[in-house]
Amino acid sequence: MALVMLPCDMPWWPMLQRHLKHLTTPDCDHVSALQSIHNLCNVGLDPDERDSPDLTVFTVLETFLAEVSETERSHILNSTLPAMARRALNLRSLRPPSGLHFSLQQQQDRVELDRDFVASLLAHLFFSTFPKRTLKTHPTLQDFNFSNFFKHLDQNYQKAKLRSFFHYFDLLEGNGVPSSKIIFSRQVMTGKEWLTIEDWLECGLPLCPLIIRHEGRLDRATSDHLVVCFSSSRIGGQVLGGGSSWECLQLCLCPEVLSALLFCEALEDNEVVSLDSVIQVARVNDPRYKAV
């Protein structure tokens, strides 16, 4: 089974480590460091794409940091980003002994991932250290980077998505990492399992119990509930871009679900993906304006 190439597998890993370590220092020029990481890692396989680095990737992020309060800016730059950089630096020691395998179409599988490893992957997602993917080079996979995310930070829903993402790392730093593993499952319904109307009419088995509640909200469900989210074929849709659909918001409420975008091929009509034991870090408080 094919393995996912992680940033620590790349030839530029030693240089990337130096940039990440610099992000943990008090005198760091954070935006400059992020740009250096992007220039180093954001390479693709498409020969038709330009080779010159995009120097505007973090322009809107810089504006966002200038507009937030001094307290929030100081916390992001002096606490959250250094914590994320430290988690990113630990990637090699956290990766599974047999590596991270792709979840392929029409192949049922189940994998348990350490939460520390997932947190490290999400830190690398933010720093955009994975090789660039496009529809041309990787038609069944998402580009697992924040490169296009920052361009939409002038929108309130995008700011809310980013704050939710940052809050995840703040929670890990403040409360520690839960010991439970994150379980990823891909299930495939075969042709033998499909039911027709005639099958339903002839079936004498009772349906599962169903409770309908007229009060409460989906994002306030307790941890023992299964939350069903309609999904794009490529999980997350435009969540790493300017997406504001319920699917995008649901992944931002539970950032650990974003890790599936790295290794999960696009779903076909007879497939479903489930993730168990993920942490919900935020709630939707203004659905009309997509605030979380």
pLDDT digits (tens, 9 = 90+) for 245-274: 988 988 999 999 999 999 999 999 999 999
Residues 34-53, mean pLDDT to the nearest whole number: 83
Q: What's the confidence (pLDDT) of residue 165?
A: 97
Q: What's the confidence (pLDDT) of residue 104?
A: 97
Q: Would you say residue 231 has pLDDT above 70?
A: yes
* Residue 219 pLDDT grade (very low, low, confident, very high; cuts 50, 70, 90): low
- What is the model's pTM? 0.91
Q: What's the confidence (pLDDT) of residue 36?
A: 96
Q: Would you say residue 292 has pLDDT above 70?
A: no
Residue range 94-123, pLDDT digits in tens: 999 999 999 999 999 999 999 999 999 999
For 81, 100, 116, 181, 277, the CA distances from 178, given in Å and listed in that order, are 21, 21, 9, 8, 10
* Residue 227 pLDDT grade (very low, low, confident, very high; cuts 50, 70, 90): confident
Find, among 6, 165, 181, the residue nearest to 83 by Cα. 165
User: Is 43 in contact with 104 (CB distance < 8 Å)?
Assistant: no
User: Is 188 in contact with 107 (CB distance < 8 Å)?
Assistant: yes
